[in-house]
Amino acid sequence: MTEPAADRHPDETILSTIEEVRTLLDEGREQGYLAAEHIVEVLADVDLTPEQIDDVYVVFHDLGIDVVGADGVHHAHPGAPGGGEPAQEAEAPEAKLDLSIKTASNDPVRMYLREIGKVPLLTAEQEVSLARRIERGDMEAKNQLIRANLRLVVSIARRYANRGLTLLDLIQEGNLGLIRAVEKFDYRRGFKFSTYATWWIRQAVSRALADQARTIRIPVHMVETINKLIRVQRQLLQ
């Protein structure tokens, strides 16, 4: 779990040196809000640490910039009750999967979709309850939060199909990102878990595709170093 928001003091000055974050801050100040999907897309290829990812959302909150879901619903601020509606409802296009794909009944993907479709979505209150249990080391709560969001992984993975990896491989990589999101999620900030998890899932899938596309596989830590060098180069050319 991440460090509680109350104990963290993100430095907006440092974050604003990252071009993509600076763009989001400018847009957020002008509009008063940012779409969750837009945030994920802008930051998808940015090499941020888990703490920086969390800090970006904290800065948005501190500046009064609302994060809005795909349905136009504003995400709760830290401390908000969250209500009893399904927490993933704003991501309905991603959460509601088409399970009637035209494949054989014993197709692995179809069988997997059928199984994960049996797991009910969680309300925001249930997410908070599970997150608190995870913070206390409850592994069953961790597994429950993961299982309830497997459909989100599939919906994101399907967007990257036919780019060099099979759908099952993409789902596997996305699941690794989901696990990281569960481990890092801080319920105190009031954001829906699916919004936070989407960033991690997309990053995991994107990195897997990037590694696969290279003739020589580059270790993850070197990929991050290369990304930093590219970002510095861009800044020097400005």
> Using CA atoms, how far apart are residues 93 and 36, in angstroms rounded to an integer?
14
CATH number of the structural domain 5-237 = 1.20.120.1810
Domain boundaries defined on the chain: 5-237
Per-residue model confidence as pLDDT tens digits over 156-181:
999 888 888 889 999 999 999 999 99
- Closest-CA residue to 146 (of 125, 168, 127): 127
Per-residue model confidence as pLDDT tens digits over 39-73:
877 887 777 766 677 788 888 888 888 887 644 44
Sequence letter at residue 78: P
